[in-house]
Chain A
Amino acid sequence: MSNESAPIDLRGDRGFQDLRERIYQVAFLACAVISVLTTVGIVLSLAVPAVGFFQNVSLGEFLLGTQFSPAIRPKVFGVLPLVFGTLLITAGAGAVALPFGLLTATYLAEYAPPGRRAVLKPMLEVLAGVPTVVYGYFALVYVTPLLNAIPGLELGTFNALSASIIMGVMIIPMVSSISEDAMSAVPDSLREASYGLGATKFDVSTGVVIPSAASGIASSFVLALSRAIGETMIVVVAAGQTARFPGDVPGLLTSFFKSTQTMTSAIIQLGLSDLSGGTTAYRALFAIGLTLFVMTLVLNVVSDLLVQHYQEDYD
């Protein structure tokens, strides 16, 4: 950066220029401050209505309640079924994205010839660039009928399985690009040392590079899961609107075959249902939003810390 090389005043009078410089600096600072104001705005626009919500529904009732029914009496606002639905779909997406993403990163960092790497990387980026509503449509119209063709699987029109598979495909590039960065940051001296000891390429990749890049890989996992938790349109279009808790359906696996509601799709449902502002059900939207915001924020911070960890190791 260029702070040290501030211009030395040789002409004496630059009064007008100084004023101009000051004005530009303040204008650019104002642009940067908008990002801080955005954060403040997010926190306030979630917290203020949420406080109103917690005057009607106690915090314990919201955080520990195992039933969510905002429209049908008795109206209960337990967030746990929504958290369960979110974790179910996130787990499904993770089961697809984490192994495939990690293997992709290993191939790109250790095996791929430069030419093939230059082709594969932009194509993987395309996966993250497709609009999520399009992915939702794919899950609903193409993936579910495709899965139903497998004998023994009886999926509902809306189900958690196809939504989480498609979401997993979408977040593969997030896992692979950060993991690949971490693997490429592992110094070649480590690789050469283990080749010198007689290790094979496979031993080096799985026994040296991946463990050395562990914190970076973990960071990519956390970031990808955070993205899956906040993903909205795939779930809204393809996974349905039924809030469930583990006890409601026999067996955890069968939950995947049924319609599920996540925190994000509950927010959309409440937002679409034209509840005139001010009802408890409408304010529940903000309480769920706040929960979602806190969860993703914590995961993002954890991921940041993990990245710093590996950067410090090899800098």
Chain B
Amino acid sequence: MATGTERQGTDRAAFGGVSRLRGVVFRYVTFAASLFGILSLAVLLGYVFWDAFGLETAAPAWYATMVVTVVLPVAGFLLYARRNPLAGRTALELAATATGGVLSGFALVVVLEVIAGPGLWFAYFLAMGVPLGALYLYGRRVEASWTGLAVLGVLVAGPVVGTALLGPLSRIGGFLGGPGVYYLSVIAPTALVARHVVDEYLDGPNGNYVALATLVAPILAAPAIDTVAVLSRSVWLLFFPTLVVPFSIVAGRNLATPGRRVGVAGPLAFALGVGLLAVVPDLLGVAGPSPWFDWQYVTSAPSQTAEQAGLYPAIIGSIFMIVLVALLTLVLGVGAALYLEEYAPSSGPAGAVTQFIRINISNLAGVPSVVYGILGLAVFANTLQFGFGTVATAAFTLSLLILPIVIISAREAIRSVPDSLREASYGMGATRWQTIKNVIMPRAIPGILTGTILALGRAIGETAPLIMIGVATTKFSPPSGLFGKMTAMPMQVFTWSSYPSEAFQHGVVAAGVVTLLVVLLTMNSVAILLRNEFERGDY
């Protein structure tokens, strides 16, 4: 757009004094207005981080150390990344893979090790995971039309068989022990998935080598892991597929590309700086901060004493709940989006029904969350008897809450697959389902995952629906199972925020807020990474 202000220089008097000032002022007013919200939030975040990390006790020398070890290197790297965006993207990729890997590793440990236990997990893995994997592999080799139906059959019959044979099946798991169970049920499938992803989406390394490395590396590293006291072999095997494999692939790819190698320096400098900051002030005898947000906080139960209070049961509850919500919304949301985009008739009386469903979904996205709480109370807690304040009730309620958002973003992702690809597939005689499975889904999955992760971020911060379905305001142990009572991070923040004492208001709650924000920030950066990496619009 051409700017109008430059044009009237010559004939200003003839136009009766067109003022340049007014336009310039307006321009800066609009710019200031767009910064208002962002700056307000930045100030508030500054306050809450200040409180959570107890920075007021730190000596000036500590701040000086921080500036030298962390702030200057990071600022320098950011300045460099402005001129070399590729380095900035590399840094973002590495940081998001690392933090996302840690977070999903925690989620896996919580669900498999803390809540289910290896025996129970292995029983259901044998009843469902093994047949599904076998059918998938067979279906990839031979285009047999019955495999898809058999998958549906396993999905229905698997849980029944698993529950019926729970005793004998979990004894097999007990015989193998935790590490054995996880090697067979987590590492082996990871090798297959890694091979598929590397061959399908990334050009470069051979998928077979990646798969082989995935199988061998955890065993070779086991002696080294045994020397670390905090890491049990089970935890190592669960963090391996979520953190080590993706991070190695991303780091390896970046190191192999000449233009991207510099980008590795950013995260490396940050990690090194934080490490130095933890060690150097102690050696010099400088007073550091007294953080509320520390290891003790993350691993202990709530308490009336601020110094002993922790978020552990709430963290476990939130993670367990969000894993269930993710499974439910992915299946239901993608199914509904596929129907609306690929199957639904757009004309005639059936078309009117489709139109009604579409309008209905967009209106559901605007229903206040507290109303979903009332829905969950009536349907899941009372009618279906899932119980008040249980993990199942919370997961189903929040799934319904974010389902409209997931459907809308999944529809956009599916719609962005060009029609020419569909028509080419149909032209070669593929059926609708074959087209969806082989043409549409591989291209739509990154967009669907991005939208789903953003929606899950909304679900993990919701509080009002949890209050309505009777989630406990404070609980001292993590949920015992699917129908165990739970509490969640935002619930605990809400409870503590009504404690009048200064230590709670400016310490314990601030630390809870920081925990919640760290989780959200990680999820969002992983979503942005997925969008940047896979949605390049190359068709």
Contact = CB atoms under 8 A, between A and B. Distances in A.
Interface of A: 1-3, 5-7, 10-11, 14, 16-17, 19-21, 23-25, 27-36, 38-39, 41-42, 44-46, 48-49, 99-100, 103-104, 106-108, 110-112, 120, 122-124, 126-127, 129-134, 136-138, 140-143, 169, 172-173, 176, 188, 191, 195, 198-206, 223, 226-227, 229-233, 236-237, 264, 267-268, 271-272, 285-286, 289, 292-293, 296-297, 299-301, 304
Interface string B15-31: 10010101100110111
Contacts of A299: 366
Which 5 A-B pairs have CB atoms at the shortest separation, nearest pair first? A230-B368, A131-B461, A31-B335, A45-B378, A103-B33
B490 A36 contact: no
A20 to B, nearest CB: 6
B349 interface: no
A286 B497 contact: no
Nearest to B436: A24
A49 B382 CA distance: 13
B403 A35 contact: yes
20 contacts: A1-B346, A28-B336, A32-B340, A36-B357, A45-B374, A45-B375, A46-B371, A100-B33, A108-B34, A123-B38, A133-B494, A134-B517, A142-B48, A230-B367, A230-B369, A230-B371, A237-B497, A268-B370, A300-B366, A301-B363
Nearest to A142: B47
B98 interface: no
B126 interface: no
B474 to A, nearest CB: 13
A3 B340 contact: no
A306 B512 CA distance: 41
Interface string B420-443: 001100110111110010000000
Given A32-B335, A191-B1, A46 B374 contact: yes
Instruction: Please classify how large the interface on chain B is, using the bins under 10, 10 to 19, 20 to 34, 35 or more.
Output: 35 or more
Contacts of B494: 133, 136, 233, 236-237
A161 to B, nearest CB: 15
Interface string B351-373: 00000110111111011111111
Contacts, number: 305
Contacts of B374: 42, 45-46, 267, 285-286, 289
Contacts of B23: 200-202
Given A38-B400, A106-B30, A141 B505 contact: yes
Given A2-B426, A32-B336, A104-B33, 16 more contacts: A20-B148, A21-B431, A23-B149, A31-B332, A32-B357, A36-B357, A99-B33, A100-B36, A104-B34, A122-B528, A130-B461, A134-B513, A141-B497, A289-B370, A297-B366, A304-B362
A136 B419 contact: no
Interface in B294-337: 331-336
Given A111-B30, A206-B26, A272-B467, A134 B516 contact: yes
Given A35-B364, A107-B34, A136 B520 contact: no
Contacts of A120: 34, 38
A42 B404 CA distance: 14
A140 B494 CA distance: 11
Contacts of A2: 342, 419, 422-423, 426
Contacts of B373: 271
Q: Is the interface of B mostly helix, strand, loop or mixed?
A: helix
A229 B370 CA distance: 11
A5 B41 CA distance: 50
Contacts of A237: 494, 497-498
A31 B342 CA distance: 13
A293 to B, nearest CB: 5
B423 A35 contact: no
Contacts of B335: 27-28, 30-32
B370 A131 contact: no
Contacts of A137: 493, 497, 509, 513
Given A120-B34, A129-B520, A140-B497, A28 B338 contact: yes
B484 interface: no
A140 B510 CA distance: 12
A62 to B, nearest CB: 17
B458 interface: yes
Given A32-B339, A34-B332, A296-B367, A7 B432 contact: yes
A268 to B, nearest CB: 6
Contacts of A132: 461, 463-464
A34 B403 contact: yes
Nearest to B383: A45
Interface stretch (B3-11, B170-178, B195-203, B209-217): B3-11
